[in-house]
Amino acid sequence: MDKLAPYWESIMDVLNDGIYISDRMGKTLMVNRMHEQLTGLKKEDLLGQSVLDLVKEGKFDVILNPAIVKTGKPKTVIQTTKVGKKVVLNGYPVFDAAGNVALVVTFVRDITSLSKIKEQLAYQQELLERFSGVEFFSRSEGTQNRYVFESRQIKNLLGMVDSMANTDVTVLLLGETGVGKDFLAKYVHEKSLRNDQVFFKVDCTAIPPNLVESELFGYDPGAFSGASVKGKPGFFEMAHKGTLFLDEFGELSLAMQAKLLRILHDREVVRVGSTKVKKVDVRFIAATNRNLEEAVKQGTFRRDLYYRLQVAVVQIPPLRERKDDILPLLQHFLSIFNVKYRKNLVLTPEVESLLHNYHWPGNVRELENLIHGLVIVLQKEWVETGDLPPNIFPAFKEGQDSHLYTIMGNMEKELLRKALEAHGSVAEVARQFSVDRTTIFRKLKKYSLR
């Protein structure tokens, strides 16, 4: 020990942890060089000072000495130093011969880097949560095989889209609900130079009006009541280098339209509660089923934004105006859902004819949902006219083309149903119609009657 004594301070100074030693009264006895670096406090300002006085002076926010002297047990706390570092304090008692606490030795370790890592992990988790709230499209999904088209209108439209996709021009998609705006937005992204980057779809109508600004542009910590202490990036920041698709953007307020116009013009965003301007590199695609020209006249849509979006406008025709697409789409979705649910359902020619002549007010989305429902519900190998929902049949009442076989089939099914209700048994129905029971059973199976 005699040999070590001359080098005691030098030994303390080479340690990676800060060292702080105080007596049982709280008087500071020793501070090493690492403690100075971590706390920003000079040794000469601490030696001989009471830890209680140092707390009162604001040099320390927490101390361990009093608690350890009182309990005689080690203690650990987190301290924020004068220079803004986060450190962990591990304090240990040193006992005298009588078993009383004589000294308190505190090891100070920097955890600022660990705190930053934790914050980064929290930020990444926040991003993952935000990703889960929007539709994310990866290049591997592709659009080439998602839909099939045979109509001249759509083939011409895709040719026009191909010519604008590899530019960064803002694309405006117009059309009725369910007409295929989602598909076309993804098609633009896939054909663009950004196809290896992220694609976000954000439904503007799904975001509460009071949260639209913070969701799109993000916010800084404490920007408003209930805001995350870490802040949040907006969708524009998250889509940096990629494509942002704002669906039903025509429903945005006039104030939000003004902010959107600024982003389109300057490619800059400012988070809520911040004055810092951030540059964003985003390909912007907008879609709406509103008549924007009428909305401008009514004062619900900004005229300057309307003209700004008139560079690349794509008007998607409804499904009823491109009937050549109906049967290919029917077979396409039937194939997809047959595979998904391990079915072998097929459409009879009568059903195909009926669906081909239907006016499809819900467009492609209605067609897809219809086939999806039929594949799930039907426990047989064919789809007949009687399996279709009632809203399909008004097509005949409107004088559209029909097949005599379909009409007769519907009449036969209805007749059998009423006969069963009236007579209560297959045997009695067969006797009334002067046919054998096998014939009745076969027709009941054909029309899915019980």
Find the CATH number of the domain harbouring 290.
3.40.50.300
Query: Same domain for 293 and 383?
Result: no
Rounded-to-integer distance, Cα 362 and Cα 29, Å: 81
Query: Same domain for 360 and 434?
Result: yes
Rounded-to-integer distance, Cα 249 and Cα 215, Å: 14
> What pLDDT does residue 105 have?
94
Query: Same domain for 310 and 333?
Result: no
**DSSP letter assigned to residue 73:** S
Q: How far is CA 391 from the centre of its chain?
A: 34
Summarize the confidence of residues 54-83 as an average pLDDT. Answer: 88
Query: Same domain for 170 and 308?
Result: yes
Query: Same domain for 342 and 251?
Result: no
Query: Same domain for 167 and 279?
Result: yes
Q: Determine the structural domain holding residue 180 and report its residue range.
A: 119-317
Torsion of CA 21, 22, 24, 27, to 10 degrees: 170
Q: Is pLDDT of 108 > 80? A: yes
| Burial of residue 185, with CB atoms counted within 10 A of its CB: 0-12 exposed, 13-18 middle, 19 or more buried | buried
CB 347 within 8 A of CB 383: yes
The DSSP line for 312-363 is: EEEEPPPGGG-GGGHHHHHHHHHHHHHHHHT---EE-HHHHHHHHHS--TTH
Query: Same domain for 181 and 259?
Result: yes
The closest alpha carbon to 287, from 309, 265, 319, belongs to 309
Last residue of a domain, one of 86, 110, 134: 110
Summarize the confidence of residues 327-332 as an average pLDDT. Answer: 93
Residue 162 identity (one-letter amino acid): D
How many domains in the chain? 3
> What pLDDT does residue 406 have?
60
Angle at 269 between CA 265 and CA 271, to 5 degrees: 155
Query: Same domain for 331 and 366?
Result: yes
Choice between 138 and 58, residue whose per-residue pLDDT is larger: 58
Query: Same domain for 126 and 241?
Result: yes
Q: How confident is the model at residue 127 (pLDDT cuts 50, 70, 90)?
A: low
> What pLDDT does residue 400 have?
44
Rounded-to-integer distance, Cα 383 and Cα 375, Å: 9
Q: Residue 125: CB partners within 8 Å, gap ≥ 6?
A: none
Query: Same domain for 358 and 401?
Result: yes
pTM over 0.75: no
Per residue in 198-237, pLDDT (tens digit) is: 898 888 888 888 888 888 888 888 676 666 667 788 888 8
> What pLDDT does residue 398 have?
43
CB 93 within 8 A of CB 104: yes
Query: Same domain for 40 and 94?
Result: yes
The enclosing domain of 83 has a CATH number of: 3.30.450.20
Q: How far is CA 214 from the centre of its chain?
A: 15
Count other Cβ atoms within 10 Å, centred on residue 389: 9
Share of the chain above pLDDT 70, in %: 85
Choice between 117 and 392, residue whose per-residue pLDDT is larger: 392
Q: Is pLDDT of 87 > 50? A: yes
Last residue of a domain, one of 50, 83, 110: 110
Q: How confident is the model at residue 443 (pLDDT cuts 50, 70, 90)?
A: confident
Query: Same domain for 123 and 148?
Result: yes
